[in-house]
Amino acid sequence: MALNLARIIGTITGKLAFERTDANFMLVQTDVNKSTIDIGDKATLATDVKTNLVVAVNEHETQINTLDANKANKAQEAWITPTLLNGWVQVPGKLPVGYMKDEFGFVHLRGQVKGASSGVIFILPLGYGTAGQADFVTIADGTIAQLGIADGNLYPNRLANSYYSLENIVFKTY
């Protein structure tokens, strides 16, 4: 039998006090009527309080685990070096070509590539691509250019033998 003091107290008006006999605890209303409600013996009360505390702790543990599972990661994922395809190479002396996903689900690209063809530069794995076709403005050979991502494939929208900056390309994964 779980102790429900809120229900007991809610049904009594006036000032309340606890009284203790040798075996039981009493909830006493201290108005003119001197109403008394027996709320149980010490062992039963201890068991009820323990049961209620265990239930409350378990509920809070579940809430904490849910929050922990849905929190943002504090440690950043390491940069991943992709396999460059179709004759694309990294531009020497620049940041290594790579990608990573931050704790909020945004993918960041870095580095510069130079191509010998106009094919796919590299392929992003599942979970790192865009939702459908996405185009990004970048710099190629010192002028404004465009890179596209579709189905995880990163490709240029310009002539071959150009270098492309991947810096500042950031997008949300879906």
Q: Where are the domains of the chain?
A: 5-70, 89-172
Answer yes or no: is pLDDT of 6 > 60: no
Core vs surface per residue 50-89: b (16+ CB within 10 A) or e = eeeeeeeeeeeeeeeeeeeeeeeeeeeeeeeebebbeebe
CB 142 within 8 A of CB 85: no
Q: What is the predicted pLDDT for the residue at 113?
A: 94
For domain 89-172, the question of CATH label 2.60.40 is answered with yes
User: What's the token pair of residue 14?
Assistant: 């006036």
The pLDDT > 70 percentage for the chain reads: 68
Asked if 38 and 24 count as a contact pair (C-beta separation under 8 A), the reply is yes
Instruction: Give the pLDDT band of residue 15 (cuts 50, 70, 90).
Output: low
Whether residue 4 is predicted with pLDDT greater than 60 in this model: the reply is no
CA-only gyration radius of the chain, Å: 33
Return the pLDDT at 2.
46
Cα(156)–Cα(75) distance, rounded to whole angstroms?
32
Output the pLDDT for position 93.
93
Best-predicted range by mean pLDDT (38-52, 125-139, 146-160): 125-139
